[in-house]
Structure 1
Amino acid sequence: MNKVIFWDFHNTLAYKHNFFIDCVIMVLDKYQKGHTVNHESLYPHMQTGFPWLEPDKEYHHLKDPQKWWDNLYPVFINALTSNGIDKEKALLYTKQAHNIMTGPDYYTLFDDTLETLKRAITKGYRNIILSNHIPELPQMAKQLGVMDYIDICISSANIGYEKPNRKIFEYAINVANNPDTVWMVGDSYDADYLGATAAGIKTVLVRNPLDEVDEVTKTEKVTKKVKYYSDDIKGALDIILQQ
């Protein structure tokens, strides 16, 4: 039997220490001493251009990694020049920030990631990453040692669709050879839970309590909005194996 679990990457299998804006500020701290740029001044200029912000669109023209970044660089450059940074320096700083974003230290695996992926394999499941992400995700996952337990790594940047677009799930199912049993595990209510559920895939929402409530009532509140929820992926796999 062909059994597959689609795993989101960001905030599901791994977490990052800095967001894109943080990377830009890290570069400025190194090369532009005394700058006054901060999160608040950059944020308004970085709310467009990222494909996952408009998942209803298709991005086949950006499947080449260089074209994907060429499409995004102007967002970073505009954010910097709007904060008084010279355009030539803004391009240089954007390239440096890009290097940080794709480096081996950008992400850290959650403590339960490798153990859970190994266990899924012993239970007859194939693990496939399905994530809204940058083109370099497969290489980043390999650097983290995740690919030893992953059959296929699907990054939205490399196929032209973003979750929750139904077409990315149809693509993934096709790549997985139309599995008999398929699950999605992810932290995003909209992209993972609603998107996969709409595509007919049973889904476990993880690491994302949907209500700001105390620990005693948290799980009760969450389960009113989703059928399956776990605070970690170890628990998500337990849920899958119990079905």
Structure 2
Amino acid sequence: MKLLVWDFDGTLAFRSGLWSGTLAAVAARHRPDLGLEAAHFRPFLSTGFRWHAPERIHPARGAAAWWAELHPVFERAYRETGVNPADARAWAAEVRAEYLNLESWAAFPDAAPVLQQLSDAGWTHALLTNHVPEFGALLDGLGLRSPFTVVVNSADTGFEKPHPEAFREVLRRVGVPERVCMIGDSPDADMRGAQGVGWPAVLVHRELAGCPARQLTDVPGFLERL
């Protein structure tokens, strides 16, 4: 078996505005006069998510508990940007539904064609993501589930990339392949995480110093050279 392990956000699909944009959308719905934009919230969302502490094992306690951990993070972000405490509390409770709004998500146009091209070339696909508990519904809604033999989500396993157990969990589910490669957009979570368990990795979509970036359409040619 030849196995490709894919990241999701920033690799195969994206959400407009990410988390900061989600908070801004909720604020704009209630108080457009405040003029709050994604950039206002970004400084206050750099801690508090499970993937900000990937060295820890996080309990998988269900969707309600997962989101409850983030409510104080969202509430604080609203308060830090000048929203009154009562509105901050109420708006924080709306972030979940806003984030999951499928209209704000899109697959990269090269995702489905490249996945099919690599399937035709004999590769098996697995998906490894640090994501929300409802990730499966997003994957279905974007029409991207069918290529993947397994989907491993940190909200279910408790292991956030780059924790080595996140990567090992993929192999526990599919078996040990003859060849394996990680494909993602994060030099830390994807590249460093994969290399930590001895996997080669391909960085896509992002241009960073010292990390040669590739689009998904470059991946088949790179794999031929592995």
Say yes or no: TM over 0.5.
Answer: yes
1:103 corresponding residue in structure 2:
101
For 2:17, what is the secondary structure of its paired residue? Answer: coil
Distance in 2 between residues matched to 1:47 and 1:23, nearest whole Å: 15
* 35-44 vs 15-24, which moves further: 35-44
- Of 205, 216, 224, the match for 1:233: 216
Matched, 1:25 2:24: yes
The answer to whether the Cα contact below 8 Å between 2:20 and 2:39 also exists between their aligned partners in 1 is no
Closer, same or farther in 2 for the Cα pair 1:176/1:143, shift >3 Å? same
The residue type equivalent to 1:140 in the other structure is L
Q: Which sections of structure 2, spanning at least 5 residues, go unmatched?
A: none
1:34 corresponding residue in structure 2:
33
Cα deviation, residue 21, structure 1: 1.4
Distance in 2 between residues matched to 1:114 and 1:186, nearest whole Å: 15
Q: How does 1:1-243 map to 2 (within 5 A)?
A: 2-35=1-34, 37-39=36-38, 41-60=40-59, 62-211=60-209, 222=211, 229-243=212-226
Cα deviation, residue 17, structure 1: 1.4
* 197-206 vs 31-40, which moves further: 31-40
The answer to whether the Cα contact below 8 Å between 2:24 and 2:41 also exists between their aligned partners in 1 is no
Q: Which sections of structure 1, spanning at least 5 residues, go unmatched?
A: 212-220, 223-228
Distance in 1 between residues matched to 2:104 and 2:39, nearest whole Å: 22
The answer to whether the Cα contact below 8 Å between 1:161 and 1:167 also exists between their aligned partners in 2 is yes
Distance in 2 between residues matched to 1:4 and 1:152, nearest whole Å: 11
The answer to whether the Cα contact below 8 Å between 2:107 and 2:142 also exists between their aligned partners in 1 is yes
Normalised to the residue count of structure 2, the TM-score between the two structures is 0.91
* 92-101 vs 175-184, which moves further: 92-101
For 2:4, what is the secondary structure of its paired residue? Answer: strand
For 1:34, what is the secondary structure of its paired residue? Answer: helix
Cα deviation, residue 236, structure 1: 1.3
For 2:94, what is the secondary structure of its paired residue? Answer: helix
Name the count of aligned residue pairs.
Answer: 226
- CA root-mean-square deviation: 1.9
For 2:56, what is the secondary structure of its paired residue? Answer: coil
